[in-house]
Amino acid sequence: MSLAESILLALTSLRSNKMRALLTLLGVIIGIASVIGILTIGKALQDQTLNSLESLGANDLSAQVEERPDEDSPEPDMFAFSGAANSSGNLIPEETVDTLRDRFAGSITGISVGGMGTQGTLIGDTADLKSDLLGVNEDYIWMNGVEMNYGRAITQDDVAAQRPVAVIAPDTFNTLFDANPNLALGSEVAFELNGQETFLRVIGVYKEAAAGGLVGSMPTVHTYTPYTVANDITHTEDGFNTLSIRAAQGVDQDSLKGSLQTYFDALYANNDSHHVAMLDFRKQIEEFNTILGAMSLGISAIGGISLLVGGIGVMNIMLVSVTERTREIGVRKALGARRRDIRRQLVVQAMIIFFIGGILGVLLGGILGLIMSSAIGYISLPPLSGIVIALVFSMAIGLFFGYYPANKAAKLDPIDALRYE
């Protein structure tokens, strides 16, 4: 008997027991759909989180002022801000930014200046609003993925001329200016800090960051102003604790990191208490990516249990089918059917069930994954590798659980089978 004939006989058998075949398919479909849906959602979360981290500058190099470690101290941890500079003599000088741009021209595309905000109050004509004032330079906004909705961003001229200008948040725009760009742009707002007011002219409104993923948007209302203006408002000493440096495309980041470290080592050679450590988050991002992938696979494995349950169901139903078709099998063997013909027909029948269930499960899981990934704001398609693995695993289970009933049927004695009532 050829494979084509085995497939035809298997399909005929399934059509003759539609309800039984449907119930058997259901377990397979649920198992595959669970695996594909979970993998799709996991991929969406993974992609969105990594994109969010990249837009926030997680792939940038960070020059951070730290206390010089003791000889027995461990390696610096980029997540632990140990001993930041506490005097202007330890801060990175302002002119260093221009020096780095010139010295590493072609290797870097931006140097971001800006850090923790200072909370104060924005005072409008009809309402007040709490806001963090962030002193930044011209590279900070675009390097941190902040997009403009109205007006313009802060420029190098604003920083150099110490212009009292501000880029305000959507909440500020809505609360103080009734969401009217004509009313907002060019108007002045008063920023109150410790009882003192400073008037800032509104030059732009940034867009609300997209929420979702494991790294969502921060609810804090930010007001951006040139760092030269912010330093006067907050009475902060000139200089920087941290610089974020973005490498140009195609530049070896490790090589650039080493060159920058050499530069800062020379700059701080005479500083006995502090130095600048060059840090990057790539290793942490890779570990984070690995953890997310492992979580998705782990949860998918739970969904795979449904496939095993479905496999057991197929085996049970096929054992019942073998019992019901004992006389039929006896007639076929009496007419010359070989053991391998009987075995092949029943194994093919089991694999057809799992193949059809696998296809339907992939479609259902893909649809559910698309719906749920769109709900978190990042549409993602099922990973191709996940689809292939799920289908191969499904067929393997069909082969495994279908072989025992098929082998049992193949070993039936034709005389005993014909006598079976």
pLDDT in tens, 338-390: 888 888 877 887 788 888 888 898 899 889 888 888 877 777 888 888 888 88
Which amino acid, one-letter code, is at 149?
N
Low-confidence winner among 73-77, 254-258, 404-408 (lowest mean pLDDT): 73-77
Indicate the range of 203-207, 271-275, 292-296 predicted with least confidence. 292-296
Element (H, E) at 36: helix 18-55
Tens-digit pLDDT profile for residues 200-222: 999 999 997 655 454 444 457 89
Sequence-separated (6 or more) residues with CB below 8 Å from residue 416: 330
So what's the pLDDT on residue 79? 45
Residue 322 has pLDDT above 60, yes or no: yes
Rank 75-79, 256-260, 311-315, 366-370 by mean pLDDT and report only the highest. 256-260
Looking at residue 82, its pLDDT comes to 46
Average pLDDT over residues 286-312: 73
- Higher-pLDDT residue of 366 and 75 is 366
Mean pLDDT of 21-47: 80
Q: What pLDDT does 52 receive?
A: 67
Secondary structure of the chain in HEC code, one letter for each residue: CCHHHHHHHHHHHHHHCHHHHHHHHHHHHHHHHHHHHHHHHHHHHHHHHHHHHHHCCCCCEEEEEEECCCCCCCCCCCCCCCCCCCCCCCCECCHHHHHHHHHCECCEEEEECCCCCEEEEEECCCCEEEEEEEEECCCHHHHCCCCEEEECCCCHHHHHCCCCEEEECHHHHHHHHCCCHHHHCCCEEEEEECCEEEEEEEEEEECCCCCCCCCCCCCCCEEEEEHHHHHHHHCCCCCECEEEEEECCCCCHHHHHHHHHHHHHHHCCCCCCEEEEEEECHHHHHHHHHHHHHHHHHHHHHHHHHHHHHHHHHHHHHHHHHHHCHHHHHHHHHCCCCHHHHHHHHHHHHHHHHHHHHHHHHHHHHHHHHHHHHHCCCCCCCCHHHHHHHHHHHHHHHHHHHHHHHHHHHCCCHHHHHHCC
> In this predicted structure, which of 230-244, 292-306, 340-354 has the lowest mean pLDDT?
292-306
Kindly indicate the confidence band of residue 83, based on its pLDDT and cuts at 50, 70 and 90: very low
pLDDT tens-digit series, residues 144-161: 888 999 999 999 999 999
Can you give the pLDDT at residue 81?
44
Stronger pLDDT, 93 or 379, i.e. the higher one: 93
Q: Look at 248 and 377; give whichever has higher pLDDT.
A: 248
Residue 354: CB atoms within 10 A of its CB come to 30
Q: What is the mean pLDDT of residues 233-251?
A: 89
